[in-house]
Amino acid sequence: MSNPYREEFISIYTQNITREGSQKLLAWLDTTDFYTAPASTKFHCACESGLVMHSLNVYKAMRERWFDEGDSEESFAICALLHDVCKSQFYKTSTRNVKNDETGQWEKRPFYTVDDAFPFGHGEKSVYLIERFMRLKPVEAMAIRWHMGGFDDAAKGGSFAISLAFDRYPLAVKLHMADLESTYLREKGTSDVR
């Protein structure tokens, strides 16, 4: 069965990302559940293909709202499309019994749980996975590493590195803003399990 999100992702990726190793990374994504995985357990895009849907939404928000003259199309595509690659092979589908309010019967309903086989952190894990195939520019690595903003565990723990990254790398701020807009505005009501 055709996945329109996969096709759109590949189209944007191949039009904009041409550096050495990019095709190997794209081929690797096909060996993972990247195109079918959810983007979260129950919040935004907690549905089949939610991860690729979210990646496309972040790209569109970032490109529409934050692209300025002199910005790199390739860097925008890399950061937006791959910022959450850490979520491939990350979720597992389980079921739980839920009472149907209309019938009074108990029904098995699917839900997602986290099964992180490589607990390396969120943004840093995406940077690590991407760099296995192609080199990131420092600005791209910083943007992907800190795209969670204040939700990042290091920031919640009191690290000031995020402030330095946001001050020095506007692309990091742009990716974070596009991620927030996608998650909380564009993807409202996209969860199958909420």
1 pLDDT above the threshold of 70: no
The percentage of residues in the chain with a pLDDT greater than 70, rounded to a whole number, is: 98
Tell me the pTM.
0.88
Average pLDDT, the chain: 91
Higher pLDDT: 114 or 77? It is 77
Q: Identify residue 78 by its one-letter amino acid code.
A: I
Please report the pLDDT score of residue 73 as a whole number: 97
**pLDDT for residue 116 is more than 90:** no
Output the pLDDT for position 193: 67
- Across the range 90-102, mean pLDDT stands at 84
Rg over alpha carbons for the chain, rounded to the nearest Å, is: 17
**What confidence score (pLDDT) does residue 17 get?**
98
Strand ranges, E, within 51-172: 91-99, 106-114
Interval 130-146 mean pLDDT: 97
Both tokens of 64, joined, read 């529409």
- pLDDT given for residue 76 in this prediction: 97
- Burial of 21 from C-beta contacts in 10 A (0-12 / 13-18 / 19+): middle
- Give 163's Cβ-side CA count (13 Å radius): 4
β-bridge pairing 106-114 and 91-99: antiparallel
Greater pLDDT, 117 or 143: 143
Could you give the percent of the chain with pLDDT greater than 90? 61
Q: In the beta sheet, which residues pair with residue 106?
A: 99
Report helix, strand or coil for 12: helix
pLDDT of 194: 55
Instruction: Name the amino acid, one letter, at 103.
Output: T
Asked if residue 10 has pLDDT above 90, the reply is yes
Instruction: Read off the pLDDT band of 24 (50, 70, 90).
Output: very high
**For residues 44 and 192, what is the distance between their CA atoms, to the nearest angstrom?**
9
